[in-house]
Amino acid sequence: MLDRESTFADKVIVELLKDKFVPVAIDQWFTRRQEDTEGDFWRKIASQSPRNDFSKTTQGLFIVDASGNLVAFNNNRGPDRIREQMLKTIANYKHPKDATPIVRTSVDPKYSVKLPADGIVVRVAAQVTGGYETTDDPWRKIFQKATSRDNLWITKEEIADLQTDKFPENLAHRIERFHLLDNTRGEPSVWTSAEIKSSKWSIKAGKITGNAILKSTDGKRGFEATTMGEIAFDDSGKVISLNLFTQGDYWGSGAYTLKPPVGKFPLAIAFSLADGSDIADPLAPHASRGWLDGYLKPKQ
Amino acid sequence: MPALMQNFRWIVAKRFKNSNVGYLLAACYLWVCVPCFGQTDDSLSIQEQCEQICQDTSAPWRSIPWQTDLLNAQKMAAESEKPIFVWAMDGHPLGCT
């Protein structure tokens, strides 16, 4: 998020990435674990950087040649250093003559998560809408006004249930555990089943209502959430529109979402049917990492 | 506007808890603010409320032709003779958070 608002808001960097580089964005949590061709290539790259312990994060900004030889690495906030590294790379770049496309000979199924057939993708965006302290810190301001993004996957069986005015338990549980979250300041901690203190969802003639209370065991993190929504189908049963709007009082933070507003604060979450036009529409839900069944069937 | 309203509610709740001033301010707030803000909220459809909470689609990072597969990027780099720029994060940089 900080990178999106700082490094990748820099005009020079954006133009360089468009014209002079092949830009690629990855969730290295997957890639460093993948026992396949792509994972091998990533480990080759990361092993040349300070991020060479694959039991830990390998996150950062990397410039490599087409053979995977590291040219530059950066994990600092702000655009200055990476802009300089990029300009220097372009000035001195020598394309490796022996570089050929790597043939993908294996795909690790554990980390190759695919949307179930005839399922739908729903964009999920969250925003803290009040409660923050006033600040002059530009980095803190970025967090305070941030809107998060994730995807919710809904299966064809669940779509069929919704058409017959039945709100599927697994869908309710999935929304609650993995999407009723404050993920605006970083990677969120999902809720456990035991942390769902109350849950009531219903659908009638396309109108959806949901009420959920989520609370951590120690009571330090929680969300009292109310959801209103609408879903519409065409004659063939295809979902043609879906909007859910959740709001309520949230409190506390996860390990990587520190410094929330003090006490209870308002959190709003929007769920909207994806049409495939957004760059993030094809991405797997964050909570499905390495455990798609657990994501799709959290109730079982 | 709803965000402004909620901010006000939170500030009052925090600043004046356990104080009669808090009740007085809350009453003023209800009398002055709720009718107009309430109408605004009610007038928004669920779709419009959702559209208020979304990422800025004109943000510069969205104009970059990001690949999401490292081997596809390597193939493009081998063919175009360009270097590869990898943005590697915990959680997908284009999605999560």
- How does pLDDT run across A142-154, given as a tens digit for each residue? 888 889 999 999 9
**Quick one: closest CA in A to B10, which residue?**
A131
Q: What is the mean pLDDT of chain A?
A: 94
CA nearest to B52, candidates A77, A161, A272: A272
- Quick one: average pLDDT of A89-97? 96
Q: Mark residue A170 as left, alpha or beta (left: phi above 0; alpha: psi -120 to 50; beta: remaining).
A: alpha
Q: How far is B11 from chain A (nearest CA, A)?
A: 7
Query: Looking at residue B15, what is its pLDDT?
Result: 53
DSSP state of B87: E
Domain boundaries, chain A: 2-107, 116-296
| ipTM given for this complex | 0.87
CA angle, A221 then A154 then A230, to 5°: 80
Q: Is the pLDDT of residue B40 over 80?
A: no
Query: Which residue among A46, A66, A286 places its CB closest to the CB of B91?
Result: A286
Confidence of residue B55 (pLDDT cuts 50, 70, 90): confident
**Quick one: closest CA in A to B60, which residue?**
A9
Q: How far is CA A273 from CA A119, A177, A224, A247, B55, in A?
A: 11, 19, 24, 18, 15
Query: Looking at residue A61, what is its pLDDT?
Result: 96
Q: Is the pLDDT of residue B52 over 70?
A: yes
Q: Is the pLDDT of residue A44 over 90?
A: yes
Contact call for A18 and B7, based on CB within 8 A? no
Confidence of residue A133 (pLDDT cuts 50, 70, 90): very high
Give CA A193 to chain center in angstroms.
21
Strands A222-233 and A60-64: unpaired
Query: Looking at residue B42, what is its pLDDT?
Result: 54
Higher pLDDT, B53 or A92: A92
**Three-class SS state of B96:** coil
Q: Is the pLDDT of residue B35 over 50?
A: no
- Write the DSSP assignment of chain A as a string of letters: -HHHHTGGG-HHHHHHHHHTSEEEEEEHHHHTT--SHHHHHHHHHHTTSS---TTS---EEEEE-TT--EEEEE--SSSHHHHHHHHHHHHH----TT--PPP-----GGG---PPTT-EEEEEEEEE-S-PPP---HHHHHHHT-B--EEEEE-HHHHHHHHTT---HHHHHHHHHHHSS--SSSSPPPPPGGGEEEEEEEEETTEEEEEEEEE-TTSSSEEEEEEEEEEEE-TTS-EEEEEEEEEEEEE---TTS----SS-EEEEEEEEE--S-STTTTSPPGGGTT-HHHHH-TT-
Q: How far is B28 from chain A (nearest CA, A)?
A: 20
Chain A residues near residue B88 by CB distance under 8 angstroms: 25-28, 31, 42, 46, 58-62
CA nearest to A37, candidates B65, B74, B58, B27: B74
Query: Which residue among A25, A38, A263 places its CB closest to the CB of B92?
Result: A25
**pTM surpassing 0.80?**
yes
Q: Percent of chain A at pLDDT above 70?
A: 100
Higher pLDDT, A77 or A123: A123
Query: Which residue among A21, A28, A151 places its CB closest to the CB of B82?
Result: A21
CA nearest to A120, candidates A300, A245, A244: A244
Query: Looking at residue A171, what is its pLDDT?
Result: 98
Q: Which two tokens stand for residue A279?
A: 């760059």
- Quick one: average pLDDT of A25-33? 94
Higher pLDDT, B11 or B36: B11
Query: Looking at residue A129, what is its pLDDT?
Result: 94
- How does pLDDT run across B5-34, given as a tens digit for each residue? 455 555 555 555 555 555 555 444 444 443
Q: Token pair 């300041």 is at which residue?
A: A185
Query: Looking at residue B36, what is its pLDDT?
Result: 35
Q: Dihedrals φ, ψ of A24, to 5°?
A: -140, 135
Q: Is the pLDDT of residue A277 over 60?
A: yes
Chain A residues near residue B76 by CB distance under 8 angstroms: 22
- Quick one: average pLDDT of B51-59? 83
Contacts of A55 (CB under 8 A, 6+ apart): none
| Contact call for residues B3 and A128 (beta carbons, < 8 A) | no
Query: Looking at residue B32, what is its pLDDT?
Result: 43
Confidence of residue A279 (pLDDT cuts 50, 70, 90): confident
A1 touches chain B (CB under 8 A): yes
Chain A residues near residue B62 by CB distance under 8 angstroms: 279
Contacts of A277 (CB under 8 A, 6+ apart): none
Query: Looking at residue A254, what is its pLDDT?
Result: 87
Query: Looking at residue B95, what is its pLDDT?
Result: 79
Query: Looking at residue B30, what is its pLDDT?
Result: 44
Query: Looking at residue B81, what is its pLDDT?
Result: 97
CA nearest to A80, candidates A125, A13, A27: A13
A9 touches chain B (CB under 8 A): yes
Query: Looking at residue B19, what is its pLDDT?
Result: 55
Tell me the C-alpha distance between A174 and A179, whole Å: 7
A225 touches chain B (CB under 8 A): no
| Contact call for residues A241 and A93 (beta carbons, < 8 A) | no
- How does pLDDT run across A158-216, given as a tens digit for each residue? 999 999 999 999 999 999 999 999 999 988 889 999 999 999 999 999 999 999 999 99
Q: How far is A224 from chain B (nearest CA, A)?
A: 15
